[in-house]
Amino acid sequence: MKIGMSSWSYHPLFQSKEMDQLSWVKHCKELGLDGVELLDIHFPSLNREYVTSLKKLIADLGLEIPICSVSSDFGKADPGARMESEKLVEKWIPIANWFGAKMLRVLAGWPGQHDPAKYEAEKQRLWPEMIQCLQRLSKKAEDAGVMLVLENHNHLGFTKTVDDLFRILDEVGSDWLRICLDTGDYLVDTAEVNGYAALEKAMIYTMMVHAKFYQVDETGRDKKQDWDKIFKILDQARYDGYLSIEYEGKNPKLEAPMAAKFLAEKTLMS
């Protein structure tokens, strides 16, 4: 397994302007990582000059770009907003391909827009349209040779359970739509309906793992997840892809590097 970092891990520093995308890439090299996950929201520009300089920097540092990530949402009530989200993914498929990324992370979205009172009704109403969006996008991804990987994002999303996730893959019916498995979304956010059994089930279609960290102890372990159990699941599935760190805590400067060191040591032992 290889270790990467999602720029989301440093989102607070991007917001405060303490870090930008180029300095973050250099930081990832200093941490001894293998690759970087590029998020659409952290690009200051998509003009040719900037993206070329970014790609060259990553190449010069000997890093890989296994995946790009786009923040799509097909659970919005407004049809125009859903169409804009589909256009966003469509725009990013060739961008990911240009960067040499084999995968583009997508999100199914949040029916009811995080309102518990609207969730079930909106999930049922918008489910067919979400499936149609992913079917069209999977075809475009296939044409470009880029794999779409659907993250099991929760917070009242379409992918609340692993059964929801499998239902989407089945109904979309494309070999070009697979899973970006976020450990925390099923072990912390919805542990009562998912848990470690959900990770085991999802591994068959998993092409990317988001290694979630919330609260890091002095050894670099996450306090909310048992990474020994997670590695056992990964090893049993013979997973040899990337672990892309998604740090969600309050101190990325201190704790994200500790998480990276922990995972590097674990992969050497697994």
Find residue 148's DSSP bridge partners.
Answer: 104, 177
How many C-beta atoms lie closer than 10 Å to residue 241's C-beta? Answer: 17
Q: Give the structural domain span for 14.
A: 2-269
Nearest C-alpha neighbor of 87 from the set 74, 69, 78 = 74
Q: Which amino acid is at 194?
A: N
What is the predicted pLDDT for the residue at 33? 97
Q: What is the mean pLDDT of residues 220-235?
A: 94
Nearest C-alpha neighbor of 1 from the set 35, 48, 27 = 35
What is the predicted pLDDT for the residue at 270? 55
Q: Tokens 């805590």 — which residue?
A: 249
17/14 Cα distance (integer angstroms): 5
Q: Are 109 and 167 in contact (CB under 8 A)?
A: no
How many C-beta atoms lie closer than 10 Å to residue 78's C-beta? Answer: 8
100 dihedral zone (left: phi>0; alpha: psi -120 to 50; beta):
left
The number of domains in the chain is 1
SS (HEC) of 13-53: HHHCCCCCHHHHHHHHHHCCCCEEEEEHHHCCCCCHHHHHH
What are the pLDDT digits (tens) for 57-74? 999 999 999 999 999 999
Residue 269 has pLDDT above 80, yes or no: no
Query: pLDDT band at residue 190, thresholds of 50, 70 and 90?
Result: confident
Q: Tokens 């918008």 — which residue?
A: 126
Nearest C-alpha neighbor of 205 from the set 159, 149, 130, 143 = 149
**Domain CATH number, residue 34:** 3.20.20.150
What is the value of pTM for the model shown? Answer: 0.93
- Using a 10 angstrom Cβ sphere, with 0-12 exposed, 13-18 middle and 19 or more buried, the burial of residue 187 is buried
Query: pLDDT band at residue 17, thresholds of 50, 70 and 90?
Result: very high
